């Protein structure tokens, strides 16, 4: 009897121990499963965050690139103003021809061709020369492609970008302290050097189309000596 009772107790103890082990194995499996889920969620979040960072970095690079393209257009615009003031007309060397950039004419983005467009203030003409020389102040032309009927004064072609340019003459005024120069000007010398002409240059850089399109606009105000010898950026 004692031996049977002892055997029964042993079996019960063994069964209890086995049940405890089985429960512990179940808890361990559940813990592993939970850790796996947590690590998976963390991994997905990390991948998503990295992709967003890459997209943001790519977008920032494109914005910087388009801004640099627009800045190049500003420099070209100042040169056009100075050359036109110096010659009292847009020099022939700047008018449409093979390899001329920027294009002061009709620019075809698809082919990169620059064709002649008559200078003047009439319908279908380019008023750039008249605007620089003060013969077409307040002209409503625009280089912004989102404006209906926009017609840029010039187009600068850069790698990956097409930059539209619009130049407007705002006003002219005597240069402060230039009374002696005015006096000299009345005798036929240095009159233009005592007059400051203020221009606004608008540049719109665009690249791509649809979802990959990027664009940037920069405006600058420049004060130029009427003789075209120098221009200084004001804004």
Lowest mean pLDDT among 15-19, 184-188, 211-215: 184-188
Average of pLDDT values for 131-136? 92
| pLDDT the model gives residue 184 | 42
Lookup: tokens for 134: 């003060």
Average of pLDDT values for 141-146? 80
Question: Rounded distance, CA 153 to CA 159, Å?
Answer: 20
pLDDT band per the 50, 70, 90 thresholds, residue 219 = very high
Phi-psi region of 95 (alpha: psi -120 to 50; beta: other; left: phi over 0): beta
Domain locations in the chain as residue ranges: 69-233
pTM of the model: 0.69
Q: Which residues pair with 214 in a beta bridge?
A: 207
Measured CA angle at 216 (ends 221, 121), to 5 deg: 55
Q: Which residue has better confidence, 197 or 15?
A: 197
Average of pLDDT values for 200-229? 86
Least Cα distance to 202 among 169, 232, 167, 162 occurs for 167
Q: Which residue has better confidence, 154 or 30?
A: 154
Average of pLDDT values for 84-102? 89
State yes or no: pLDDT of 69 exceeds 50: yes
Q: Which residue has better confidence, 171 or 96?
A: 171
State yes or no: pLDDT of 196 exceeds 90: yes
pLDDT band per the 50, 70, 90 thresholds, residue 166 = very high
| pLDDT the model gives residue 185 | 42
Average pLDDT across the chain, whole number: 80
Q: How far is CA 64 from CA 5, 60, 133, 163, 201, in A?
A: 88, 6, 33, 14, 19
């Amino acid at each position: 009897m004692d031996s049977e009772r002892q055997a029964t107790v042993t079996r019960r103890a063994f069964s209890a121990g086995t049940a405890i082990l089985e429960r512990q194995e179940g808890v361990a499996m559940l813990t592993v499963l939970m850790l796996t889920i947590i690590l998976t969620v963390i991994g997905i979040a990390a991948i998503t965050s990295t992709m967003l960072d890459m997209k943001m970095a790519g977008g920032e690079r494109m914005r910087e690139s388009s801004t640099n393209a627009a800045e190049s257009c500003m420099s070209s615009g100042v040169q056009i103003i100075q050359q036109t003031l110096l010659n009292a007309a847009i020099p022939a060397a700047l008018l449409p021809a093979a390899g001329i950039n920027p294009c002061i004419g009709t620019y075809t983005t698809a082919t990169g061709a620059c064709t002649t467009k008559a200078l003047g203030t009439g319908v279908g003409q380019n008023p750039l020369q008249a605007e620089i020389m003060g013969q077409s102040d307040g002209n409503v032309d625009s280089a912004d492609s989102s404006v209906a009927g926009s017609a840029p004064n010039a187009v600068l072609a850069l790698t990956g970008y097409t930059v539209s340019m619009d130049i407007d003459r705002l006003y002219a005024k005597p240069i402060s302290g230039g009374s002696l120069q005015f006096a000299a000007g009345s005798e036929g010398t240095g009159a233009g050097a005592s007059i400051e002409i203020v221009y606004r240059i608008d540049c719109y850089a665009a690249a791509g189309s649809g979802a990959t399109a990027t664009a940037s606009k920069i405006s600058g105000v420049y004060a130029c000596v009427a003789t075209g010898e120098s221009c200084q950026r004001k804004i």
